[in-house]
Amino acid sequence: MRLAVLASAVRLAAASRARLLSSAAFPGVQIEQFPCLRDNYGYLLHDVATGATAAIDTPEVAPILSALSRRGWRLSHVLNTHHHHDHAGGNAELVRLTGCHVVAPAAEAEKIGGVSAAVRGGESFALGALRVDVLDVGGHTLGHVAYHLPDAGVAFVGDALFALGCGRLFEGTAAQAHASLQRLAALPRETVLYCAHEYTLANLAFARAVEPGNAALAARGGEIEKLRAHGLPTVPSTLAVELETNPFLRTGSPLLREHLGISADEADVDVFARLRRMKDAA
């Protein structure tokens, strides 16, 4: 980012009535963020030039419809990151109500159902005037994808990567998930990352435990605690911030390895697998 740009672009409304609603503007794009279910975030992605509007996953229908009404937008697409119910469970009702098209990972299209366009990592498609690149980020589920808008500098990463964490490996292997995170890590450092859950406080506790000497993490931790104390979201993040503080992107960190007693010659993928096992057991 442009952390200054994010700070000025994102308007975080005060808690109770606004319920964590926020808006952000990037080149050619407007994004609405709102809470769904217990700890999910819903997103609307709006192309300013054409009016095309996509819901990134469909965790809960009512908040999506409310956000559309609030902004005066018409839903044209759903972009699913993976097949889990808290990401695709609202598809059928939204298609019935709006006639929108469903874009979903090809490897999970049968599980999701009603898919208009099946996409694979390495492909690109147009959402109105916007270019959307599809990234293979399997691991949490086998066919999980992320959606990267290179011109806007934003990526929707679902459950592949969280603020200070990553998704549990329900279907994939550690090697697959590690390779997926390396694809995300190769994006421009200023990329703004929108993940699907507010898990940051729990992830912070784990990150502090495995890399207590990380000064950037110490500073970020204080900011996170202040946001959550006021009921405000810690999402989105940026790739630059995650590279400095997220242990699952820091498998080569000498500080982390020394603290955990991991030798310098242990492969990054094995360190990742060890961290994932530790987090699962925490």
Q: Is the dihedral of CA 232, 233, 238, 239 positive or negative?
A: positive
Catalytic residue among 87, 144, 148, 178: 87
Asked whether the beta carbons of 46 and 31 are under 8 A apart, the reply is yes
Q: Look up tokens 């009603």; give the residue.
A: 114
178: annotated active-site residue: no
Tell me 71's DSSP state: H
151: annotated active-site residue: no
159: annotated active-site residue: yes
Structure tokens at 107: 């490897």
46: annotated active-site residue: no
Half-sphere exposure of 43 (CA within 13 A, CB side): 26
Catalytic residue among 84, 144, 148, 178: 84
Structure tokens at 249: 């992107």
Catalytic residue among 47, 86, 133, 136: 86
Catalytic residue among 46, 77, 82, 148: 82
140: annotated active-site residue: yes
86: annotated active-site residue: yes
Q: What are residue 148's DSSP bridge partners?
A: 133, 155
Q: Is the dihedral of CA 167, 169, 171, 175 positive or negative?
A: positive
265: annotated active-site residue: no
185 Cβ contact list (under 8 Å, min separation 6): 239, 243, 249
Catalytic residue among 46, 77, 83, 140: 140
Indicate which residues carry an active-site annotation. Answer: 82, 84, 86-87, 140, 159, 197
